[in-house]
Structure 1
Amino acid sequence: MSSQGDRAAALTGRLAGVAAAVVAAAALAGCANTDAADQRVIDRLAKLDVMTVPPGAVELARTSSRGGGNSAIRNASSVTLVYATTQTPAEVGKRFHARFDPTWHFKDNGAVDLGGWRASGGPGPDPDAEPDTVADVTARRVTSADKAPGGTQSVVTVSASATRPA
């Protein structure tokens, strides 16, 4: 009897191992699909008009991150652009509104360091053209810690994020 019990336990262990392998393979396939979908979101965000460096400004950094998650819970992917400009933060705000108000609904936000400017918004007039997309812009005075060229008055950070389609 002991040998039958050992065989049954071994068979059960093998079946459990096969089932675990099938689940793991399905999870990996799902990750590959969500990774590709998240990358498509990043590619789309990188091409948005708000993610362009204006003439005369110098790009300091550009990063992106995949949102991840699964089919039920989708985290936002994002692209962040940082550039230096000779404009003051207030001038950045005025020029930003002048450039993007026809295509984005940016609202100024007072929660910013003294002398800075910040706005957040979404695409318009058709938000379905860029689904689940938001952008946040901050202009702050340049500091000695920034690796910005001489004459720089502001460092501007533009972040755009969106979740992948369901």
Structure 2
Amino acid sequence: MTGRTALLVGIVAAAALLPLGGCSSDAADQKVIDRLSSLDVLAVPSGATELSRVSHKGGGADVAAIRGASSVTVVYASPQAPTDFGRAFHARHDATWNLKDNGAAPRGGWASGGALRTEPGTIATVEARPPAAADQAPGGSGSVVTVEVSATRP
């Protein structure tokens, strides 16, 4: 085999392996999304109406690089006002999540964020705000809640 032929064979072999790496990464990211989707913090509480649910595959394995994290986001309308919702949310999730309220809430709203106690690399952000006309929330809704959970693959 000449040097040129060996080089071409090497390039073809490397190209053939590239899709395999992408598939295993894609499958690993999907496992992260599946795990996140099953977390209690993403469950829509009784009396609330789910408005949307989306997931994104991130493609990262480094927790410090959260931009590479996969995520699941759920938006729902709650009959509770934002601050009442926040108290109820803490009551439901403080045992499993280390949530800290923050001042980044929209006017009249409530916001919190933190990590899953058993997996510090799994992060949640939660925001409850008064409904706006564009939200298409059912009548009587006291808040529109957005919960996003993200994590990188192992």
In the alignment, the residues of structure 2 paired with residue 70 and residue 133 of structure 1 have an alpha-carbon distance, to the nearest angstrom, of 12
What are the superposed Cα offsets for residues 81-121 of structure 1, whole Å, 9 maximum, x if unpaired? 10001111101110011111111110001012110110001
What are the superposed Cα offsets for residues 35-85 of structure 1, whole Å, 9 maximum, x if unpaired? 1111000000000000100000000001001111579x8821000010001
Partner of 1:20: 11
Which structure 2 residues correspond to residues 47-62 of structure 1 after superposition, within 5 A? 47-62=38-53
Partner of 1:158: 147
Partner of 1:134: 123
Give yes or no for contact 1:131–1:162 (8 Å, CA) kept in 2: no
Unaligned runs of 5+ residues in structure 2 are none
- When the two structures are superposed, what TM-score results if normalisation uses the length of structure 2? 0.89
In the alignment, the residues of structure 1 paired with residue 106 and residue 134 of structure 2 have an alpha-carbon distance, to the nearest angstrom, of 16
Cα displacement (A) at 1:147: 1.1
Distance 1:46 1:27, change over 3 A: same
Distance 1:20 1:69, change over 3 A: farther
Query: Match of 1:30, as an amino acid?
Result: G
Cα displacement (A) at 1:131: 5.4
Which structure 2 residues correspond to residues 49-88 of structure 1 after superposition, within 5 A? 49-69=40-60, 75-88=68-81
In the TM superposition, structure 1's runs of 4+ consecutive aligned residues that sit over 6 Å from their partners are none
SS at match of 1:113: coil
Range with greater deviation from structure 2 (103-112 or 16-25): 16-25
Unaligned runs of 5+ residues in structure 1 are 1-7
In the alignment, the residues of structure 2 paired with residue 148 and residue 90 of structure 1 have an alpha-carbon distance, to the nearest angstrom, of 18
SS at match of 1:29: helix
In the alignment, the residues of structure 2 paired with residue 104 and residue 111 of structure 1 have an alpha-carbon distance, to the nearest angstrom, of 19
In the alignment, the residues of structure 1 paired with residue 82 and residue 120 of structure 2 have an alpha-carbon distance, to the nearest angstrom, of 29
Larger Rg: 1
Cα displacement (A) at 1:15: 4.0
Partner of 1:5: none
In the alignment, the residues of structure 1 paired with residue 26 and residue 150 of structure 2 have an alpha-carbon distance, to the nearest angstrom, of 15
Percent of paired sites with the same residue: 52
Which structure 2 residues correspond to residues 102-117 of structure 1 after superposition, within 5 A? 102-117=95-110
